[in-house]
Structure 1
Amino acid sequence: MADFLRSLRLGGRGNPAQACARALCAEGVALSLLVGKDRTAEPLWCYPDLSARFEELQFTLGEGPGPDAVRTGVPVTEPDLDRVRPDRWPALLPSAREMGVHGVSCFPLSIGAIRVGVLTMLSDGDRRISDQQWTDATALTGALTGAFLDGDRRPDGDGAALGPGTFLEWPTGLHRAKVHQATGMISVQLGTSMEDALLRLRAFAYSSERPLGEVADDVIARRLRFDDDDNYADGDIDDLSGPHSPDAGKG
Structure 2
Amino acid sequence: MLGPNRYGKAETRLVRVHRDGDTHGLVDFTVSVALSGDLAATHLTGDNAGVLPTDTMKNTVYAFAKKHGTGEPEEFALLLARHFVASQPQVHGAKVSVEAIGWERLGPHSFRRRGDHTRTAVVTVTGDGEQVVSGVTGLVLLNTTDSEFHGFVRDEYTTLPEATDRILATAVDARWRHSGVDVAWGESFDASLAAMTGAFVGTYSYSLQQTLYAMGRRVLQERPEVAEVRLALPNKHHYLVDLAPFGLVNEGEVFIAGDRPYGLIEGSVVRDDAVAAVAEWWL
**Normalising by structure 1, what TM-score?**
0.28
Higher relative contact order (CA 8 A, sep 6+): 1
The structure that is helix-richer by fraction is 1
**Normalising by structure 2, what TM-score?**
0.26
Rg larger for? 2
